[in-house]
């Protein structure tokens, strides 16, 4: 593929990426916009041992905590290894994390994530030994155990090693059983707060209006840009759960701030439909600098006195980029016009990132620029 065809292909992909937000903003359900007060998950954490690895576990000399937990587990099983030199390569110490979902009941199951903390090279094929999972209050809420599904693979030889994915981390689907419930009674609430995931005054006002219109009276009140309070008693619902079930599928059209998100690693640019710029002229160009080291070796003639030396030689070259025309973007330019104007310059995606940064530095970009 020639450079020109490659640039055209990239421009087409980028244009599609930029134009995606131009579609009309769809109505969104309340359950997808807000978090209900008290209806949230709780993070769990545990420290355990993965066994059954094919020689890819921790080196006991480099990870003494692995030996400690292994000795503790064996002692609980009635095997005394105190003073013994146990140095297997098929075990690995891991951190186990999970999220206890709202209203989880005793006996239910949740997914867990397992991550090596020692020098194990892979958890592929390993089995997590029974591991208690603690909450922020130090109480045990679940117990995890099961076969680890690693997300990568590693192959190693005498002089090379190839790794794909992350073999030192994996998941256990439904690998933890809930042993303790979170003490929370939704039915005791007289008022429920709806917390917006993306706080915005306009969106909060719309949520208030939609709920009040549904009930035909003032049951909801906007407290701030991120909170709307719902009076459960005024809704006439027999319980807060009934009230939430009636409003969670109501739809509103959310409003968001104008943003431009730039990913420098992949060259991806995403602009919101509300992005505007002031009048500005843009020209893009640059220099290409090449520096090559070509050292020469000088040595004496055969059987002559002297020594071999290396003479440094450097070749430099500066090449001007092809001239690029200047494009003018008028005040209030929309997203479509921005894309068309920058594409008219024939710039590549990474060059377009530099242009957007420069426009923002000039104070002409009326949007929040997020660079990752």
Sign of CA dihedral 344, 349, 351, 354: positive
Domain boundaries in the chain? 3-23+259-371, 28-38+185-252, 42-178
Listed residue (271, 239, 302) closest to 366, CA to CA: 271
Q: Write the pLDDT tens digit of every residue in 24-54.
A: 457 889 888 898 877 788 899 999 889 888 8
d(CA 239, CA 157): 64
- List pLDDT tens digits, range 304-330: 777 778 777 766 665 555 555 555 555
> Which pLDDT band, with edges at 50, 70 and 90, does 19 fall under?
very low
Predicted structure pTM score: 0.61
First-residue to last-residue Cα distance in the chain: 30
Q: Exposed, middle or buried, 110 (CB in 10 Å: 0-12/13-18/19+)?
A: buried
pLDDT tens per residue across span 255-290: 877 878 877 777 777 777 777 777 766 666 654 455
| Residues 192 and 240: beta-carbon distance below 8 Å | yes
pLDDT of residue 316: 62
Residue 70 to residue 49: CA distance in whole angstroms: 7
Pairing of strands 140-147, 161-178: antiparallel
Q: Quick one: pLDDT at residue 14?
A: 44
Q: Return the percentage of the chain with pLDDT > 90, whole number.
A: 21
Q: What is the pLDDT of residues 176-195, one digit of tens each?
A: 999 998 877 788 888 889 99
Confidence at 13, pLDDT banded by 50, 70, 90: very low
Asked if residues 131 and 157 have their Cβ atoms less than 8 Å apart, the reply is: no
Q: Which of 97, 34, 2, 89 is nearest to 252 (CA)?
A: 34
Show the tokens assigned to 270: 């995403």
Beta bridge partners of 169: 115
Position 3 pLDDT exceeds 50: no
65 φ, ψ (degrees, to nearest 5)? -65, -25
Share of the chain above pLDDT 70, in %: 71
Tell me which H or E stretch contains 174.
strand 161-178
- Within 10 angstroms of residue 50's Cβ, the number of other Cβ atoms is 28
Residue from 18, 25, 31, 16 nearest 256 by CA: 25
Q: Is the pLDDT of residue 243 over 80?
A: yes
Q: State the pLDDT at residue 258.
A: 80
- Kindly tell me if the per-residue pLDDT of 9 is higher than 60: no
Average model confidence (pLDDT) across the chain: 77
C-alpha span between 196 and 204 (Å, rounded): 8
- Mean pLDDT calculated for residue range 62-80: 71
Residue 53: count of CB within 10 angstroms of its CB:
23
Q: So what's the pLDDT on residue 176?
A: 94
Q: Residue 242 — φ and ψ, nearest 5°?
A: -65, -40
Q: For residue 289, give the 3-state DSSP assignment.
A: strand
Inter-residue contact 315 to 292 (CB < 8 Å): yes
Place of tokens 């003032």: 218
**Beta carbons within 10 angstroms of residue 168's beta carbon:** 24
- Degrees, nearest 5: CA angle 272-332-271: 15
Backbone angles phi, psi at 29, to 5 degrees: -70, 150
* Beta pairing partners, 34: 196
Quick: pLDDT tens for 73-132. Answer: 777 777 766 656 666 778 888 999 999 998 888 999 999 999 998 888 888 889 999 999
The confidence score (pLDDT) of residue 100 equals 92
Bridge pairing between strands 327-329 and 268-271: unpaired
pLDDT score, position 324:
52
**Per the structure block, which two tokens stand in for 136?**
């922020």
Rounded to the nearest 5°, which phi and psi values hold at 267? 75, 20
Cα angle 273, 352, 326 (rounded to 5 degrees) comes to: 100
Does residue 354 or residue 134 have the better pLDDT? 134
Query: What is the chain's Cα-based Rg?
Result: 31
C-beta of residue 204 within 8 angstroms of C-beta of residue 30: no
Best CA proximity match to 314, nearest among 296, 300, 329, 298: 296
């Amino acid at each position: 593929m020639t450079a020109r065809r490659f640039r055209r292909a990239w421009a087409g992909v980028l244009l599609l990426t930029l134009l995606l937000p131009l579609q009309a903003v769809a109505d969104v359900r309340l359950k997808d916009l807000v978090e209900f007060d008290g209806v949230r998950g709780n993070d769990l954490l545990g420290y355990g041992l993965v066994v059954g690895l094919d020689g890819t576990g921790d080196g006991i000399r480099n990870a003494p905590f692995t030996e400690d937990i292994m000795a503790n587990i064996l002692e609980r099983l009635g095997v005394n290894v105190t003073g013994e030199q146990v140095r297997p390569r098929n075990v690995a110490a891991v951190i186990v994390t999970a999220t206890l979902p709202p209203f989880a009941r005793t006996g239910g199951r949740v997914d867990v994530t397992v991550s090596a903390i020692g020098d194990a090279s892979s958890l592929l094929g390993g089995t997590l030994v029974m591991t208690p999972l603690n909450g922020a209050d130090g109480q045990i809420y679940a117990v995890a155990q099961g076969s680890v599904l690693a997300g990568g693979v590693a192959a190693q030889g005498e002089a090379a090693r190839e790794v794909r994915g992350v073999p030192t981390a994996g998941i256990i689907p439904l690998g933890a059983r809930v042993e303790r419930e979170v003490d929370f009674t939704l039915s005791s609430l007289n008022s429920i707060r709806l917390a917006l995931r993306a706080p915005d005054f306009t969106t909060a006002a719309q949520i208030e209006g939609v709920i009040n219109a549904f009930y035909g009276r003032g049951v909801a009140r906007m407290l701030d840009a991120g909170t709307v309070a719902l009076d459960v008693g005024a809704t006439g619902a027999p319980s807060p759960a009934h009230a939430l079930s009636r409003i969670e599928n109501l739809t509103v059209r959310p409003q968001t701030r104008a943003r431009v998100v730039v990913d420098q690693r992949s060259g991806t640019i995403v602009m919101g439909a509300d992005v505007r710029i002031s009048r500005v002229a843009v020209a893009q160009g640059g220099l290409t600098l090449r520096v090559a080291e070509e050292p020469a070796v000088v040595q004496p003639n055969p059987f002559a006195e002297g020594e071999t030396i290396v003479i440094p030689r450097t070749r430099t070259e500066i090449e001007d980029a092809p001239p690029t025309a200047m494009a003018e973007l008028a005040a209030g330019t929309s997203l479509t016009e921005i894309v068309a104007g920058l594409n008219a310059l024939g710039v590549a995606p990474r060059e377009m990132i530099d242009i957007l940064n420069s426009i923002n530095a000039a104070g002409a970009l009326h949007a929040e620029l997020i660079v990752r």
